[in-house]
Structures are given as structure tokens and as C-alpha cells.
């Protein structure tokens, strides 16, 4: 990464990236990632800090599964993404349905989790079986409404749910009945499936893939005009909201401070978890330029990932510095941690 020196005085991972903005202007983007352990007592700084994940990670094959972790290489985000990774945990034996709820500061969301069901036909009508009891169900988009309809014998007439191509239950027409077709385990409480052929919003807490709607609509237009007049730059109608990768309702339009209250219900074997984010102020970055000038790019908390399977919380700050020519404009980059503003709260059950 260039010829400049990076002095990281924080306990966190820091990754400088050489990127460019919409107009092709060179940028030095700095991503700083803090890892905390989560338990019933709250948060504490992890001894082992996870590195910045440039490539991201899928739950399965990249072309067939959803993101577990998004690639952490956007040059900017316009607000804070909040993402929950984990499982729905039944509070008692025989549970067939529950509500997983997440609150982080002003952001609140609930997802209805239902045991396994399928569609069946009896006496000419289509019904869903009663949900089966469960102990835990993964909170992944593979368990939400969506997927492909490949019921037509001609492959050219196959279709998919553009908001979640890896989900289950989608059929292009109510006429395309399939005995034993799975229903989603994850549903929007306000828009549950009621009839075969219904089209409902996919529900989840995870990262939205860049080629899924509505995120893909912000990517801009890649047509022949773009190829001839604009490539390899981003399209002129590119919208920076494209970099917001959290699920519906979990993108804060203003950056979170990092001391917000967190409440997680039914997504941990410990039951209800309640704590505060650590109150760590954004790390301070000083870039010494080749010209001798010192520049402090502002850093913003733009991603909070709560991984309940790993009992980890990840806070990510990002900032960028426009450059005249490229990385050789920078002589040294110094990163230091500012004070902690708020004490961590205890977990309630």
C-alpha cells in the first residue's frame, strides 16, 4: 500500500485503501475496525482484533448465497449500517413462532420467525401446514421470502425475486402451484404470507448484496452510452446510497455516536441482551502530506455489526482524503484513539 508510513497507535485494526470517487479522483480511504466481545455483562475490548475484511464472506457459494460479512471497502457511507448476525433461539420447548427484535439507538426492527411449513392442496384449496417446533433458526436471507421460480419447462421463462434471489417461496404466478413448496421462516410481521402466490417483502437483519434490489437501483446505468463515454468510471447517475448495505429500517441517516443502547431479543441463548455501545470516539487520523501539510480527515462510525454466533461486536469508522496525484502525495499516516465517552451498560434479561 504505497510508500507512506502507517503508525497505528490504537488497539484496533486499520487498513488504508487506494480508491477513487465517482469522477475518478484518487482517494486515500482509511477503514478502522474495533472488535468487542459480547456476553451477559456487556461489551469488552477483544484481545484479538479482527482485520478489515476487504473481500467479504458469503454463507455459501458466492453466486448462490447471501453475505455473512460485506466487503469492507466502500470509499464512503452516508449513514450508519446496523447488522445482526446469528440465530433465533426458542425460549422454551415446543416453540413454533417468536419475534426477534433489535434496537440500536433510534433504529428498531422486528422479524417474525416461524417453524418449518410447506404449501399443500386439499379438496381443491391451497393451505400451509402448521409450523413445526424449533430450537433455533438461522437469521439468513436463505430463510426469507424470495428465490427463483424454475417451474416452467422453458429456462428462458424462469424468474426470480430481485430483492432476495437466494430465498424461498417465490412463484411468479399463483397458478404455478407446487406441492410441498417451503414457506419462509423469516417474515415481516406487518406483511406475512397469507395465500399462495402472495409477494411480500423479504425479511432479515443481514447485509444486502449489491446486485439485489433496492440497493442495485442506486448503482447507476451501465449501458452502451456508459461503455463509450464513461467507463471505467462510475455512471453519472450513481448514487452513494448504494454503499448502504444494511437491511430495510437499519440504516441510520445520521451517523451513530457509538454510545447507543442496544437491545437484542431472542437472538442469543442468553435470552434478552441489553447493553450500550462502548462510547469510543472516532479515532483521530493525521495525514502528513508530501507538501509538508498535515490534514485530519473526519472519521465516522458507519457500520455496526453484531455477530451473536461469534459473540462479537464490530464497530467500523471510515474516512477519506482526496489526493492530487495518488498515494505518493502522502508521507505518513498516524492513527490514535480518542477517549471513551460512555461506560458500557450491564446486560439485562
Concatenated DSSP letters for 273-307?
A: EEEE---BPPPEEEEEETTS-EE----EEEEEEEE
**68: nearest Cα among 43, 50, 44, 42:** 50
Q: Is residue 320 part of a domain?
A: yes
Looking at the fold, whether 300 and 257 belong to one and the same domain comes out as yes
5's enclosing H/E stretch is strand 5-8
List, in sequence order, every residue forming a beta bridge with 182; answer none if it has no partner: 118
Looking at the fold, whether 302 and 243 belong to one and the same domain comes out as yes
List, in sequence order, every residue forming a beta bridge with 8; answer none if it has no partner: 335
pLDDT digits (tens, 9 = 90+) for 22-78: 999 999 999 999 999 998 888 999 999 999 999 999 999 998 999 999 999 999 999
Q: Confirm if 316 and 31 have CB atoms less than 8 A apart.
A: yes
Domain count, the chain: 2
Looking at the fold, whether 140 and 64 belong to one and the same domain comes out as no
Domain boundary, last residue among 159, 187, 215: 187
Looking at the fold, whether 235 and 175 belong to one and the same domain comes out as no
Enter the pTM of the model: 0.93
Looking at the fold, whether 81 and 211 belong to one and the same domain comes out as yes
pLDDT digits (tens, 9 = 90+) for 289-302: 988 889 999 999 99
Q: Is residue 275 part of a domain?
A: yes
Q: Confirm if 38 and 263 have CB atoms less than 8 A apart.
A: no
- Parallel, antiparallel, or unpaired: how do β-strands 330-336 and 284-289 relate? antiparallel
Q: Is residue 342 part of a domain?
A: no
- What lies within 8 Å, CB to CB, of 60 at 6+ separation is none
Instruction: Tell me the HSE value of 69 on the side-chain side, using a 13 A CA sphere.
Output: 22
pLDDT digits (tens, 9 = 90+) for 304-337: 999 999 999 999 999 999 998 888 899 999 999 8
Looking at the fold, whether 76 and 155 belong to one and the same domain comes out as no
Q: Is residue 294 part of a domain?
A: yes
Q: Is residue 202 part of a domain?
A: no
The model's confidence at residue 346, banded by pLDDT at 50, 70 and 90, is: very low
Q: Confirm if 30 and 320 have CB atoms less than 8 A apart.
A: yes
Q: What is the DSSP string of 175-238?
A: T---TTPBPPSEE-TTS---STT-------SSPPPTTSTTGGGGG---SHHHHHHTTTSPPTT-
The model's confidence at residue 341, banded by pLDDT at 50, 70 and 90, is: low
User: For residue 25, what are the domain limits?
Assistant: 5-89+207-336
Amino acid at each position: 500500500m504505497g510508500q507512506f508510513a502507517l503508525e497505528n497507535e490504537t488497539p484496533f485494526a486499520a487498513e488504508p485503501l487506494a480508491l477513487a470517487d465517482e469522477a475518478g479522483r484518487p482517494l486515500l480511504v482509511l477503514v478502522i475496525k474495533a472488535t468487542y466481545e459480547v456476553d451477559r455483562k456487556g461489551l469488552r475490548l477483544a484481545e484479538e482484533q479482527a482485520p478489515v475484511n476487504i473481500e467479504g464472506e458469503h454463507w455459501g457459494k458466492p453466486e448462490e448465497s447471501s453475505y455473512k460479512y460485506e466487503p469492507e471497502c466502500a470509499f464512503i457511507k452516508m449513514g450508519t449500517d446496523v447488522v445482526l448476525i446469528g440465530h433465533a433461539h426458542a425460549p422454551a420447548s415446543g416453540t413454533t413462532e417468536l419475534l426477534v427484535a433489535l434496537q440500536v439507538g433510534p433504529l428498531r426492527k422486528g422479524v417474525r420467525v416461524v417453524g418449518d411449513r410447506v404449501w399443500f392442496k386439499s379438496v381443491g384449496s391451497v393451505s400451509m401446514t402448521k409450523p413445526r417446533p424449533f430450537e433455533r433458526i438461522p437469521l439468513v436471507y436463505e430463510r426469507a421470502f424470495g428465490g427463483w421460480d424454475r417451474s416452467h419447462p422453458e429456462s428462458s421463462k424462469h424468474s426470480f425475486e430481485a430483492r432476495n434471489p437466494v430465498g424461498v417461496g417465490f412463484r411468479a404466478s399463483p397458478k404455478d402451484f407446487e406441492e410441498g413448496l417451503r414457506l419462509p421462516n423469516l417474515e415481516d410481521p406487518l406483511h406475512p404470507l397469507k395465500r399462495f402466490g402472495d409477494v411480500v417483502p423479504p425479511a432479515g437483519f443481514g447485509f444486502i448484496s449489491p446486485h439485489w434490489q433496492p440497493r442495485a437501483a442506486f448503482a447507476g446505468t451501465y449501458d452502451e452510452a456508459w461503455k463509450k463515454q464513461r467507463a471505467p468510471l462510475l455512471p453519472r447517475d450513481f448514487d452513494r446510497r448504494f454503499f448502504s448495505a444494511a437491511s430495510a429500517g437499519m440504516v441510520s441517516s445520521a451517523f451513530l455516536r457509538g454510545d447507543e443502547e442496544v437491545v437484542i431479543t431472542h437472538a442469543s441463548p442468553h435470552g434478552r441482551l441489553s447493553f450500550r455501545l462502548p462510547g469510543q470516539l472516532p479515532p483521530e487520523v493525521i495525514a502528513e502530506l508530501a507538501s509538508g501539510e498535515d490534514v485530519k480527515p473526519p472519521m465516522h462510525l458507519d457500520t455496526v455489526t453484531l455477530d451473536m454466533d461469534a459473540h462479537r461486536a464490530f464497530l467500523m469508522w471510515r474516512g477519506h482524503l482526496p489526493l492530487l496525484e495518488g498515494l505518493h502525495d502522502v508521507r505518513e499516516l498516524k492513527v490514535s484513539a480518542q477517549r471513551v465517552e460512555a461506560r458500557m451498560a450491564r446486560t439485562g434479561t
